[in-house]
Amino acid sequence: MSFIGNVIWIIFGGFFIFLQYLFGGLVLCLTIVGIPFGLQLFKLAVASLVPFGTKVIPTPTSTGCLYTLMNILWIIFGGIWVALTHFFFGVLLCITIVGIPFGMQHFKLMGLAFTPFGKAIS
């Protein structure tokens, strides 16, 4: 079932979301300061390419408050807009019965896009 969902997702816009995250990650990785944020965009790119069957899990933190600080910077400098975009498309897709599974995937991506530091994809 997740294979069919992923194929439909890729055909109807998932591939373009993947390319946007990939391009953003490459641009951020051009600077030393942007490398941690670029790596998080690569994580979002993988999750947005095949969201069905992937799970977002919190990772055990051993770095203290570094993840919190990085998430705050992420939210201030663009994470809020990415999360709001996923929220908008999630609500829009959940209006129809056929779009509910795809809307739920947008809500999963919204949570990851809002605070990506300290989370892993399995």
Residue in the block written with tokens 């069905």: 52
Give the model confidence (pLDDT) of 47-63 as tens digits: 999 999 899 888 876 56
- Among all chains, which residue has been given the structure tokens 């399995």? 122
Residue 13 is classified by DSSP as I
DSSP annotation of 119 reads: E
Dihedral angle computed from the Cα positions of residues 79, 83, 89 and 93, in that order, rounded to the nearest 10 degrees: 150
Domain boundaries, the chain: 2-121
Tens of pLDDT, residues 68-77:
888 999 999 8
Residues 6+ apart with CB under 8 A from 47: 54, 56, 108, 109, 112, 121
Q: What is the pTM of this model?
A: 0.86
